[in-house]
């Protein structure tokens, strides 16, 4: 799969996918989108990088680390980072669900605030649902990428 066509296509579409993923993520609480679908789309961008450039490219090419080609993929530092992302994302989602209890509101209650006079945007909606969504996003990205890189190496 690591052909020139694949690599050239990947260079063009990966940034587009990531931008769409981010915009979907920010739309989530009002429009179709959200942490889950944003996370899945982000993962597909990574998957295309893996397909075009091989499994070790992230560590060697982008992060500039040395990689022993033969070792267990689950020991890769980047895979450990994916796992941590999963764990922290889950903890964030749980914590954001628990936070309303401190204010005497039921579990998972959400609210929002409008910021007026923001440059370029004029007004900006800050929704508390974003914290939960970001947790979901991390869980999806971390979980799927762990599966993808470990199973992909086998």
Partner 1 sequence: MTAMPVGTASTLVIAPMLVVLVAAAGTLLLGRHPRARTAVSLAGGAGYAIAVAAIDWYIVLAPDAPGIATYQVGDLPAPFGITLVADGLSAFMLTMVATLGIASLVFSTRHLPDGERRSYYFPLFHFLALGVTGAFLTGDLFNLFVWFEVMLMASYVFVAYSGGPQHTRAAFWYVSLNLLASAVFLLGVGGIYATTGTLNMADLAQRLANPAAYGLEPVPVVGLLGLLLSVFAIKAGLVPFQFWIPTAYRAAPPQITALLAGATKKVGIYAIIRLSFTVFAGAEVAIDLPLPLVGVAITGDSPLPFIGAALFVMAAGSILLGGIGAVGRDSMEGVFAYSSIGQVGFIAIPVAIATTAAGPELRRFAIIAALVYALNHTLAKGLLFLAVGTVRSATGTSRFADLGGLAKRSPPLALAVFVGSLALVGIPPLSGFFGKFLVFDAAARAGSGPVLVLLLVGSLLTIAYATRLWNRSFWGARTDAVEAATVDPVQVAILVGLAVAIIAVGVGFEPVYEFAETAAEAALDTEGYVDAVDPQAASDLGGLNGGGH
Residues within the interface to partner 1 (CB under 8 A):
74, 83, 86-88, 90-91, 94-95, 97-98, 100-101, 104-110
Nearest to 95 by CA among 46, 47, 146, 135: 135
Question: Considering the complex, what minimum distance in angstroms separates the CB of residue 22 from partner 1?
Answer: 24
Q: How far is the CB of 147 from partner 1 (least distance, A)?
A: 12
Would you say 53 or 137 has its CB closer to partner 1?
A: 137
In the complex with partner 1, the residue whose CB is nearer, 11 or 84, is: 84
SS3 call for 124: strand
- Element of type H or E holding 139: helix 129-153
Closest CA to 143 of 49, 57, 43, 45: 43
Which residues, other chains included, contact 81 with Cβ-Cβ below 8 Å and sequence gap of 6+?
none
Closest CB to partner 1 among 91 and 118? 91
Minimal distance in Å, beta carbon 94 to partner 1?
Answer: 5
Element of type H or E holding 118: strand 112-118
Closer CB to partner 1, 98 or 118, in the complex: 98
| Residue closer to partner 1 (CB basis): 52 or 142 | 142
Nearest to 73, CA basis, from 89, 52, 90, 50: 50
């Amino acid at each position: 799969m690591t052909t020139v066509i694949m690599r050239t296509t990947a260079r063009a579409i990966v940034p587009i996918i990531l931008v769409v993923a981010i915009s979907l993520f920010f739309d989530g609480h009002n429009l179709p989108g959200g942490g889950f679908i944003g996370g899945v789309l982000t993962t597909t961008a990574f998957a295309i990088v893996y397909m075009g450039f091989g499994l070790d490219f992230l560590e060697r090419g982008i992060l500039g680390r040395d990689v022993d080609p033969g070792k267990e993929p689950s020991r890769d530092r980047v895979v450990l980072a994916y796992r941590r992302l999963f764990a922290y994302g889950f903890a964030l989602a749980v914590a954001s669900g628990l936070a309303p209890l401190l204010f005497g509101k039921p579990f998972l209650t959400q609210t929002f605030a409008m910021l007026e006079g923001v440059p370029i945007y004029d007004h900006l909606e800050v929704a508390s649902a974003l914290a939960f969504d970001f947790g979901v996003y991390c869980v999806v990205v971390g979980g799927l990428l762990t599966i993808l890189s470990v199973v992909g190496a086998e």
